[in-house]
Structure 1
């Protein structure tokens, strides 16, 4: 069984987090952690949207079938249907993001850079600007880039973006694709590395996946930000 020892979260890039030092993740444990997070997202985010849309549509259908419903009362029914459609669109977007977490099909259809830009824009949405700085000598521009390393870099990028937007409230994320590393910097709230939960899924997953392909991930942050995630290439 492959075993990985994630490096620690640092505030200055030098000091190792003692909790991370003492914890090790196997490949199977990484998969279990990801399954757990996906399960939580399905239960807490996806299912409520679908349930609300279904309940709303059922109520609208009951009103539409009620012979006592006046023509003037149809407008609220249209509003119900429109709201249900909005919830279903949110559920569809969430389902697509979950699919990307499980397996990035975009990498079979697009170049790494094109797929990464498309996904980054979807995660950032209208609330977060994503800025790219790409060195042509970076492996991300190489069509023959090792598949396992490319997939890992893609997953690290996604996790960093999700953390920046979901937890850090970032308004701008800068992604630097350099010859020797991938760097993601966000202007979000940041956090105290010493206070981070050693079982926090996102950080452990990024580090563990990188180790599986012979690379490393470091995370630097401080209260008030910025937060920098860096993966060696």
Structure 2
């Protein structure tokens, strides 16, 4: 029950909350244009309509996902998420992925999708970064892989976050459910680093024998 409640909370955050925030920003921008540049109002309203339609589609996909088994969840993959991010924002992006970890990255696909998407979304909306580094390598801890998303943006005080920052909380919860750890390090003016450590799949050992009594 606790896992399902956490999943519901993540889905609400990833769909309704982000969609409403985007729509609210467009509405405020439309009000600004109404007073300063009425000729731009039509384009702003069209963007607001597009944001609402996109949010509705994401909400419907989330509902479908809750009705299906976990195996039916769509996995985008690290490369596709980064490519979509690069098309939306003009920053210098450096990507370094250890190809030997491809199978393990795919095995953790849903976990990686959610955490990397949230990290890049935060960079896009809050960091004002000029460069972003993304790497996937073997962690220094045995049997673990590490994904790091780092930027040179404005950063923030990671020790005093408001209670409603569910996105950052959700990243840590998602990693925990996959048997991993997600840490977030940031300092005002010095950028932000998100590190995700996940277990590497090991070859199964012999099936233990259960003695009969």
CA 1:101–1:203: 2 relative to 1, 3 Å:
farther
CA RMSD of aligned residues (A): 3.9
Q: Per-residue CA shift, 1:145-204, capped at 9, x if unaligned? A: 32xx21101110001111112122222211101132110001111111221124421111
1:142 alignment counterpart: 103
> Aligned runs of 1:50-199 on 2, under 5 Å?
85-89=46-50, 94-95=54-55, 98=58, 102=62, 107=75, 112-122=77-87, 125-138=88-101, 141-142=102-103, 145-146=106-107, 149-179=108-138, 180-199=145-164
Match of 2:6 among 17, 29, 35: 29
Corresponding pairs, count: 179
What TM-score do you get using the length of structure 1 for normalisation?
A: 0.60
Between structure 1 and structure 2, the one with the greater Rg is 1
Task: Please list every run of 5 or more consecutive structure 2 residues that lacks an aligned counterpart in the other structure.
Answer: 31-38, 66-71, 139-144, 199-213
Using CA pairs under 8 Å that are at least 6 residues apart, name the structure with larger relative contact order, 1 or 2: 1
What TM-score do you get using the length of structure 2 for normalisation?
A: 0.65
**In the alignment, does 2:1 pair up with 1:42?**
no
CA 1:101–1:186: 2 relative to 1, 3 Å:
farther
Contact 2:95 2:134 in 1 (8 A): yes
